[in-house]
Amino acid sequence: MSSTEIGYIRKELPEKIKTIGLTLFVVGTALGIIGFLIDPQRASLSYLVTFMFLVSIGVGSLFLVALEYAVGADWSTPFRRISEFLAAVIPFLIILVIPLLFNLKYIFPWTHKSIVDSSVMLKGKTPYLNVPFFIIRSIGIFLIWWVFYYFIIRNSRKQDTTKDQYLTKKNINISSGFIPVFGISITAIAFDWMMSLEPNWFSTIFGVYYFSGTVWCALAALTLIVILLNEHGYLHSKIKSEHYYTLGLLMFAFTVFWAYIAFSQYLLIWYADLPDETIWFMHRWVGGWKVVSLAIVFTHFIFPFFYLLSYNVKMQAKKLKFIAIWILCAHFLDLYWLVMPGMSTNGYQYSFSWMDLVFPVAAVGLIILIFKSLSHKYNLLPIGDPKLQRGLDFHL
């Protein structure tokens, strides 16, 4: 235990958390490996959904950190560390992507020569959509993210001991560089890993669509963890409902932003009514997918919108915790809905599989483990940050 002049008392998170994280991770991973052995095709697709979820959490959180630096926000400084810990998923992405890279043929139709040869459109796309370039792109982007993560987080942690204000300035510059890079790279990742599942289809707004969900999901994870930690006194007594309110406000904003983008994509396709474009929605409007599509509208927009509209809800930790969990689930459902119906393009028949639930369990376990081990080494508050006091004194 150590105390600082800003009144932060460092406490170790209980060991129980590690046990929970480890159990989830080990059980999830073990079952996942069995899944890969039984049915590698189905397992790769399930794994892809969870992988994209981890990308959302990791790079979404790094974006929130960069955003805070770039715009000079101080209200979120007291819990920037939480986002930094979540962004620690980024270095793991390079390892986590490996099982996917070995199973590309099960995931992407454009890896099959016969399918490419049968379509003029796909032939034209081969300079971009080919296996070597695809792998280079993905690994390259994960590396770029990792480099930005490394520098931003290193400066932030160094500040805890040196209290050097110049580090904040440095991070502002790095963050301002990261944001445009992030904009382009997240688009490329969304195009590569999800849009190319149905390679004949294209939508230029698809990257923005994924981005909106990414930030939404990272915000929800942040809110959930901040509230849980603060309720048990691990953060700071000055973090109060007004901070929660602002987090709720941002979640609300991104709920609307997502709806705006999702609808923009839908409306143009609906208006033009071209078979090449509508086919993507048709795949999501057959059989049970119709229910899932409607459920997305409800869970991803209508419910969170009306729920978060109220001032009182945003001021209450308990209600925010609920909607944060809801949002995490809704984002997962959204990713599932983006990935799974495309299966038919690759000649498979969709059916629900137990594996779809196994990988998220492992992912949650992994996040808990990462979080626990980082919180063991570093402060939960950026105690050297010059903006911290203002952040703690934040009023509406």
Partner 1 sequence: MNENKVLHSVAALFDTPDKIINAARKVKDAGYTMFDVNTSYPVHGMDKAMGLGQSKIGYVTLFFGFAGAVFIFLFMGWSMAINYPYIVGGKPFFPYQAFIPITFEVTVLCGSIATVVGMLAVFFNLPFLSHPIHGSNYIKEVSVDKFGVVIEAEDPLFDKNKVFEFFKNLGAGKIEFIYEPEKQAIKILQPKFIVFLAVVAALTSFSTYFTLNKLMYIVPFNWMDNQKKSNPQSETNFFYDGYAMRTPVEGTVARGFMPYPFHEQALPSEPLANPTLPTKQILKIGQEKFLTFCSPCHGNYAEGVSRLMGQFPPGPTLHSAKIIGYSDGMIYNIITNGQNAMPSYAYQIPREQRWAIIDYIRVLQRAQNPKPSDFQAIKELNKESGKNVVN
Residue 391 CB coordination number (10 Å): 24
Rounded to the nearest whole angstrom, what is the least distance from the CB of residue 279 to partner 1 in the complex? 18
Residue closer to partner 1 (CB basis): 150 or 270: 270
Using the rule CB under 8 A, which residue among 150, 298, 311, 354 binds partner 1? 311
Per CB under 8 A, the segment of 56-64, 88-96, 165-173, 267-275 that binds partner 1 is: 267-275
The C-alpha atoms of residue 189 and residue 194 are separated, in whole angstroms, by 8
Is residue 352 near partner 1 by the rule CB under 8 A? no
Rounded to the nearest whole angstrom, what is the least distance from the CB of residue 340 to partner 1 in the complex? 24
Alpha helices in 194-274 (DSSP H): 206-231, 241-272
* Residue 9 bridge partners (DSSP): 3
Q: Kindly tell me the burial class for residue 304, based on how many C-beta atoms sit within 10 Å of its own C-beta (0-12, 13-18, 19 or more).
A: buried
Phi first, then psi: give them for residue 100, nearest 5 degrees.
Answer: -70, -40
Tell me the site size for partner 1, rule CB under 8 A.
11
Residue closer to partner 1 (CB basis): 166 or 311: 311
Rounded to the nearest whole angstrom, what is the least distance from the CB of residue 203 to partner 1 in the complex? 16
Using the rule CB under 8 A, which residue among 267, 286, 294, 357 binds partner 1? 267
**Exposed e or buried b for every residue in 129-165, given b needs 16+ CB within 10 A?**
beeeebeebbeebbeebbebbebbbebbbebbeeeee
CA atoms within 13 A on the CB side of 349: 2
Is residue 273 near partner 1 by the rule CB under 8 A? yes
CA atoms within 13 A on the CB side of 387: 20
Task: Read off the tokens for 3.
Answer: 């105390």
Residue closer to partner 1 (CB basis): 271 or 352: 271
- Cβ–Cβ under 8 Å, residues 44 and 106: yes
Rounded to the nearest whole angstrom, what is the least distance from the CB of residue 194 to partner 1 in the complex? 23
The C-alpha atoms of residue 248 and residue 304 are separated, in whole angstroms, by 10
Q: What 3-state class would DSSP assign to 396?
A: coil
Using the rule CB under 8 A, which residue among 270, 298, 305, 354 binds partner 1? 270
Rounded to the nearest whole angstrom, what is the least distance from the CB of residue 208 to partner 1 in the complex? 17
Is residue 263 near partner 1 by the rule CB under 8 A? yes
Per CB under 8 A, the segment of 90-98, 198-206, 269-277, 362-370 that binds partner 1 is: 269-277
Per CB under 8 A, the segment of 26-34, 120-128, 261-269, 341-349 that binds partner 1 is: 261-269
Query: Which residues contact partner 1 by CB under 8 A?
Result: 263, 266-267, 270-271, 273, 309, 311, 394-396
